[in-house]
Chain A
Amino acid sequence: MKPNPTIESTRIESTTLVLAESNIDTDQIIPARFLTTTERSGLGRHAFADWRFDAEGRGRADCVLNLAAARQSAVLVAGDNFGCGSSREHAVWALQDFGVRAVVSSSIADIFKANALKNALVPIEVDADCHRWLLDHPGAPVTIDLQACRLAAGLAAEDGPEVSFELDPFARRCMLEGVDALGWLLSRREKIEAWEKTRAEAA
């Protein structure tokens, strides 16, 4: 694992993988039985395990996640309230290991979003119209520009929506400039200690 997860380039160009269901919870992304690992790596083969495989472990032909194109898509477009439920960061690790670099939805659950940002999996919330268009056009090419915080969909400019999105400025610096979040916190040590001392004296 790299000390500080960064993205390899400031642009993500990919076709989309669409999971239109709303409220996809982290138990779906990575079922609890795979959480006994002590590592961050290797969870991609269990991503959406119960959607992709039957009880005997055979791939389900009707599951979009099993199509060759799915494995080549770096952008997952999902229904509203993606990543709700359990705080397991394994959900982010599993998606990344599966090849996903950005998740696009109309809303993304708080803890999942925080976990994604810390691993340079880009969580992107778009307006309802753009979201609808993306859900209706599975496999559409999209370009995500992380410098400009713009997402453009479709082959030509008129083909699909082009929108701005918000990305937490600090997390963006961590991803783009390699700022180490834990290192940054550790650099506050004196300030933290002084604050604690003042507080202890006040009590």
Chain B
Amino acid sequence: MPRTLFDKIWDAHVVEAETAESPAVLSVDLHLVHEVTSPQAFAELDRRAIRVRCPDRTVATLDHSIPTTPADGQGQRRYASEEAWTQVERLEENCARHGITLHGWDSPHRGIVHVIGPELGLTRPGMTIVCGDSHTATHGAFGALAFGIGTTEVGHVLATQCLLQHRPRSMEVRVEGRLPPGVTAKDLVLQVIAHIGTGGATGHVIEFTGQAIRVLDMEGRMTVCNMAIEAGARAGMIAPDETTIAWLRGRPACPQGAEFEQAAERWLQLAGDPGARHDREVVLDASTFAPTVTWGTRPDMAVALDRPVPMPQDAAARRALEYMGIQPGQPLSGHRVDVVFIGSCTNARLGDLRAAAEVLRGRHIAAGVRMLVVPGSETVRRQAEAEGLDRVFITAGAEWREPGCSMCIAMNGDLVAPGQTAISTSNRNFEGRQGRGARTLLASPATAAASAVAGCVADPRHDPRHDTRQISHSPETWQMQVPSPRTLEART
């Protein structure tokens, strides 16, 4: 029977098949660990006096609760609280005791867990990858089965390198056509989520297919898979192809030389067989997409910048608009922003920083706007600094920080003040996500940077440096430039 990409990876990792009485025992190739969701799991191993079974398949980093400001002259770092500091020390102790590689403060590779995995070549096609973090789906961009787990399950993997799992259903999201110029992977995935809904893919693993996906570079693919969870999916994945292989070649943890080429041959065979069926299919047309920004408090409450914010159809939408202070019936363009955040596991890779810097080069952010640029890893930081991107950001009036999750989860002290509106390249716009009472607009790096310059939500395609047309925020001139998103009905 023809099998999908997901089928192949799942089947290859089943140690013990699912029965009426028990779930499948699924082997885990790579377990990524960070400071926030692991201490209770290590404590459970200690309580049972058991060791981490495969420290060589476990890699840890510091990212969620750590400060992104540099250490002071004495090497001291300003943690948000004593407790946050304790949590970091706990991970350091746990990793040292169990022989786990930790990319801690002294590592040149430290960074956001979903940025460093691929960067180091730890993430490879065909693998099963888990982490106590819902954005683990990011690694699916390489044709891996990668998903988030809770802390109890983190303990299961530490102890056995396996998980008890029921086989999820599969869903194909086929994005046909090509993105118009100036429209990015982030805009694409926001459109997909708006179409499927926040819970629309619950119980499913999404495989993204179609021409618009195939032409994305690896960073764009990571952005897309990263946000699969925002449609409720267990995981998102994209079949490996030549783009995947070119990106992985030479990465430190990858096989090298002839061994790599042999592995690449195997990886290319992971793609779904002709005729393989998914449980559900959704088809969208990328050529109708435009820069997209969220207007509400769920990732599926998103709208193209040139379209009006929809009139509320239910209590949730009314509550969201009220919380956000947004008027429906008119485009978001021109809506005031106080804070701009470029960062997170969704959009803090080199290409994201380049896109933002491209918009900011030779310009300054608007008066009263605070802009934070937080690279995804130390590697990204070094590369960005080597290209002078840090100078572009600093000259434009932004803060250039050290790597971490920062204002995406806002538990390290990088906060948006109550009532302020932040345009962020992160993944969640839930109430209070970026700080109590904070209002979040999710957008691409280019849109966020263009908005920083304008002081209000702005379309990055309308750059006055390249265009003598008058920028206007009035809806009349902006509507109808791009046809409304047209979707082919889902076949279920």
Q: In the assembly, what is the distance between CA of A115 and CA of B133, in Å?
A: 12
Contact count A vs B, C-beta below 8 Å = 167
Q: Is B104 an interface residue (CB 8 A)?
A: no
Please determine whether A185 and B232 come into contact, CB atoms closer than 8 angstroms: no
Please determine whether A28 and B65 come into contact, CB atoms closer than 8 angstroms: no
Within 8 A of A (CB), among B32-49: 36-37, 39-40, 43-44, 47-48
* B148 contact set on A, CB distance < 8 A: 87, 111
* A168 contact set on B, CB distance < 8 A: 23, 166
Of A109, A170, A189, the contact of B202 (CB 8 Å cutoff): A109
Within 8 A of A (CB), among B3-60: 15-16, 20-23, 25, 27, 36-37, 39-40, 43-44, 47-48, 50
Known: A81-B198, A185-B159. A23 touches B298 (CB 8 A): yes
Of B36, B39, B159, B418, the contact of A55 (CB 8 Å cutoff): B418
Q: In the assembly, what is the distance between CA of A181 and CA of B152, in Å?
A: 10
Q: Is B81 an interface residue (CB 8 A)?
A: yes
Q: In the assembly, what is the distance between CA of A196 and CA of B26, in Å?
A: 11
Please determine whether B27 and A195 come into contact, CB atoms closer than 8 angstroms: yes
Within 8 A of B (CB), among A27-41: 27-28, 31-33, 35-40
Q: Is B375 an interface residue (CB 8 A)?
A: no
Please determine whether A84 and B199 come into contact, CB atoms closer than 8 angstroms: yes
Please determine whether B156 and A109 come into contact, CB atoms closer than 8 angstroms: no
Please determine whether B15 and A81 come into contact, CB atoms closer than 8 angstroms: no
Interface string of B234-254 (1 = CB under 8 A from A): 100000000000000000000
Within 8 A of B (CB), among A103-125: 107, 109-111, 114-115, 118-119
Please determine whether A186 and B36 come into contact, CB atoms closer than 8 angstroms: no
* B199 contact set on A, CB distance < 8 A: 23, 80-81, 84, 107, 109
Q: Is B437 an interface residue (CB 8 A)?
A: yes
Please determine whether A185 and B431 come into contact, CB atoms closer than 8 angstroms: no
Known: A111-B148, A191-B15. A88 touches B428 (CB 8 A): no
Within 8 A of B (CB), among A80-96: 80-81, 84-90, 92
Please determine whether A118 and B160 come into contact, CB atoms closer than 8 angstroms: no
Q: Is A148 an interface residue (CB 8 A)?
A: no
* A196 contact set on B, CB distance < 8 A: 27
Interface string of A190-203 (1 = CB under 8 A from B): 01100110010000
Please determine whether B202 and A92 come into contact, CB atoms closer than 8 angstroms: no
Please determine whether A185 and B428 come into contact, CB atoms closer than 8 angstroms: no
Of B48, B133, B156, B432, the contact of A181 (CB 8 Å cutoff): B156
Q: In the assembly, what is the distance between CA of A55 and CA of B431, in Å?
A: 14
Nearest CB in chain A: distance from B49 CB, A: 12
Interface string of B122-160 (1 = CB under 8 A from A): 000000000011100000000000001111110110011
Q: In the assembly, what is the distance between CA of A27 and CA of B410, in Å?
A: 11
Q: Is B294 an interface residue (CB 8 A)?
A: no
Nearest CB in chain B: distance from A25 CB, A: 5
Q: In the assembly, what is the distance between CA of A32 and CA of B415, in Å?
A: 11
Q: Is B411 an interface residue (CB 8 A)?
A: yes
Known: A81-B198, A115-B150. A182 touches B155 (CB 8 A): yes
Within 8 A of A (CB), among B395-426: 409-411, 418
Q: In the assembly, what is the distance between CA of A38 and CA of B35, in Å?
A: 9
Residue of B164, B198, B202 with highest tally of chain A CB at under 10 A: B164
Nearest CB in chain A: distance from B408 CB, A: 9
Q: Is A21 an interface residue (CB 8 A)?
A: yes
Please determine whether A36 and B428 come into contact, CB atoms closer than 8 angstroms: no
Q: Is B484 an interface residue (CB 8 A)?
A: no
Known: A170-B23, A186-B50, A192-B160. A28 touches B430 (CB 8 A): yes
Q: In the assembly, what is the distance between CA of A169 and CA of B164, in Å?
A: 13
Please determine whether B159 and A186 come into contact, CB atoms closer than 8 angstroms: yes
Nearest CB in chain B: distance from A34 CB, A: 8
Please determine whether A185 and B202 come into contact, CB atoms closer than 8 angstroms: no
Of B64, B152, B229, B430, the contact of A118 (CB 8 Å cutoff): B152
Known: A28-B431, A88-B37. A188 touches B151 (CB 8 A): no
Please determine whether B83 and A36 come into contact, CB atoms closer than 8 angstroms: yes
Of A38, A55, A118, A189, the contact of B153 (CB 8 Å cutoff): A118
* B64 contact set on A, CB distance < 8 A: 35
Of A39, A110, A192, the contact of B40 (CB 8 Å cutoff): A39
* B437 contact set on A, CB distance < 8 A: 55
Q: Is A22 an interface residue (CB 8 A)?
A: yes
Q: In the assembly, what is the distance between CA of A138 and CA of B228, in Å?
A: 34
Please determine whether B232 and A109 come into contact, CB atoms closer than 8 angstroms: yes
* B84 contact set on A, CB distance < 8 A: 36
Nearest CB in chain B: distance from A84 CB, A: 6
Q: Is A150 an interface residue (CB 8 A)?
A: no
Of B16, B48, B150, B428, the contact of A114 (CB 8 Å cutoff): B150
Known: A23-B298, A27-B430, A87-B150. A185 touches B134 (CB 8 A): no
Please determine whether A87 and B133 come into contact, CB atoms closer than 8 angstroms: yes
Please determine whether B83 and A89 come into contact, CB atoms closer than 8 angstroms: no
Q: In the assembly, what is the distance between CA of A27 and CA of B230, in Å?
A: 13
Please determine whether A55 and B40 come into contact, CB atoms closer than 8 angstroms: no
Nearest to B432 among chain A residues (CB) is A50
Nearest CB in chain A: distance from B34 CB, A: 11
* A3 contact set on B, CB distance < 8 A: 47-48
6 A–B contacts from the bound complex (CB under 8 Å): A27-B430, A35-B65, A36-B81, A87-B37, A87-B133, A87-B134
Identify the 10 closest CB pairs spanning chains A and B, nearest first: A81-B199, A115-B150, A89-B150, A38-B39, A87-B148, A87-B134, A118-B152, A32-B411, A36-B83, A89-B151
